[in-house]
A and B are shown apart, each in its own frame.
Chain A
Amino acid sequence: MEILISLIKIVIVLFVLLTSVAYIVLLERRVAAAIQNRIGPNRVGWQGLLQPLADVVKLVMKEDIVPRQANKFIHDLAPIISIGVALATFAVIPFGNRIALFGHDIKLQIADVNIGILYILALTSLGVYGVTLSGWSSNSKYSLLGGMRSSAQMISYELAMGLSLIGVIMIAGSLRLDTIVEAQVAWRWNILLQPIGFITFVVSSFAETNRLPFDLPEAEPELVGGYHTEYSGLKFGLFFLAEYANMVTASAIITTVYLGGWQVPFVHSLGLSDVSVSIIQVLGFCFKVGMLIMFFIIIRWTLPRFRYDQLMNIGWKVMLPLAIANLLATGLVILLKWV
């Protein structure tokens, strides 16, 4: 029974995740068009709502080209690692409180593990392999440079990412994501308690997901397409999907850790039934994630790209000391019993 319930949860989460990823691509194209004073895709279906479907069909009908000099096996493996890791990270995110349905008390989280944060950090590290291996196996100079750049960038910002999470762990006293969310009841959101940690974490998330202003691995003017230059058809589509899935996951992690997760203020004072409170909380979670995704998209189309040496400088000389200072300051504040 337990297994059946988790299976249903997994299928629903994967369906929602993949559908939302497809529509975030459309949203991004429409927002980009609006920012650049264009119209954007609006022909396929009403307001272009069937565009993602058309894109998938087009990608399926394309020829799958593997360059002769490439390492075939690793070339095939890399996109699978990317998408597998991007989807699996979502397993530990609590997207709602408990809900009582059909006589079952269901926890709205796929896997309630006690090392939630470590699992997230481990999987984001695995994501580096997909990008690096694709760059190496293509045996193209552009791909290789993109892969090397992205591995150096991702591991540099992972330090700041890991260090900024430590402040939150000290406040909550646990690595469980549901405990961290429960500690942020009412307005005690971690963004208010950990403003510096929040900033370093968000900046590192941008670098980890290879989004502009940190999209050096695929900087078109210098590297053509970066690590996926030699990919075509749905294999290219998988990298594309993985990038957007990573964006959704990063937004969900930021929401969970800093923006109170599924906590919706004042919802308990409305006097609603338990089930409707749970549903409102899930919707509140989705709303926060949606706002963050919008933030990701607007940043991408309004800021220029960093130079590579600037990127490394920010990572090592600004983010790392800032995160360590934040950690020590948090320790002092907790000892003085201000939190």
Chain B
Amino acid sequence: MLETYIPIGIMIFFGVTFGVVMSKASEWFGPKNPTETKLSTYESGMEPVRSAHERVSVKYYMVAMLFIIFDIEVVFLYPWAVNFRQLGTFGLVEMVIFIAILMLGYLYLWKKGALRWD
């Protein structure tokens, strides 16, 4: 069973090795004459002001939380979808109830403005 994953392991190994070799290549072959200006962060030709690691809009965190909530439902739907033909009408009714509850939450989020981006 597990031996079907060996080729995947080799593939990932090849992919990562390719990445490492290529990203080292320009360190090996490229010229090296760093200057103070060259090493500063790009900011449209201005002197960089402060660091970029400051607070970012809360909207991004909101999207991340919503993603986690909905993605768990999606993962839950996969085993159901595989066995759908065996579950028959009972399976569909169950899933309609489940999705109806989910959609109630979704409508609440929509009305609350959690999906609005401005």
Contacts and interface: CB of A to CB of B under 8 A. Distances in A.
B85 interface: yes
A169 B51 CA distance: 47
Contacts of A288: none
Contact of B5 (A111, A141, A312): A111
Interface in B50-64: 51-53, 56, 59-60, 63-64
Interface string A113-149: 1100111000000000000000010111111100010
A173 B4 contact: no
A218 interface: no
Contacts of B25: 60, 234
Interface string A57-97: 00111111111111000001001111111111011100000
A111 B7 contact: yes
Contact of B89 (A86, A166, A335): A335
A112 interface: yes
B4 A112 contact: yes
Interface residues of B, number: 68
Interface majority SS (helix, strand, loop, mixed), chain A: helix
A224 to B, nearest CB: 7
A287 interface: no
Given A62-B30, A162-B71, A331-B84, A238 B23 contact: yes
A173 B84 contact: yes
Given A79-B19, A230-B42, A64 B52 contact: no
Contacts of B39: 65-68
Nearest to A71: B53
B30 A92 contact: no
Given A64-B27, A83-B22, A166 B81 contact: yes
B52 A83 contact: no
Interface string B17-31: 011101101110111
A295 interface: no
Contacts of B14: 10, 14, 87
A146 to B, nearest CB: 11
Contact of A63 (B33, B48, B53, B89): B33
A6 B6 contact: yes
Contacts of B85: 170, 173, 334
Contact of A317 (B18, B33, B115): B115
Contacts of B18: 14, 83-84, 87
B10 interface: yes
Contacts of B30: 60-64, 233
B51 A313 contact: no
B47 interface: no
Interface string B63-107: 110110011001101100111110011011001100100010010
Given A63-B32, A141-B52, A238-B23, A69 B41 contact: yes
Nearest to A325: B99
Given A80-B19, A113-B8, A335 B67 contact: no
Interface stretch (A152-160, A205-213, A271-279): A152-160
A101 interface: no
B67 A156 contact: yes
Nearest to B4: A113
A79 B23 contact: yes
Nearest to A308: B117
Given A3-B6, A68-B39, A140-B43, A235 B15 contact: no
Contacts of B81: 166, 169-170
24 contacts: A10-B14, A14-B14, A60-B29, A61-B29, A62-B26, A67-B41, A80-B16, A86-B15, A88-B12, A91-B11, A110-B7, A110-B11, A111-B8, A113-B5, A118-B78, A138-B52, A140-B52, A159-B67, A162-B74, A170-B81, A173-B82, A238-B23, A312-B115, A327-B77
Task: Identify the 6 closest CB pairs spanning chains A and B, nearest first.
Answer: A233-B26, A80-B19, A87-B15, A84-B15, A169-B81, A111-B7
Given A113-B8, A144-B52, 20 more contacts: A59-B26, A64-B27, A65-B34, A79-B19, A92-B8, A113-B4, A113-B5, A136-B53, A138-B41, A139-B52, A140-B43, A152-B60, A155-B63, A155-B71, A156-B63, A169-B82, A173-B82, A234-B23, A317-B115, A332-B92
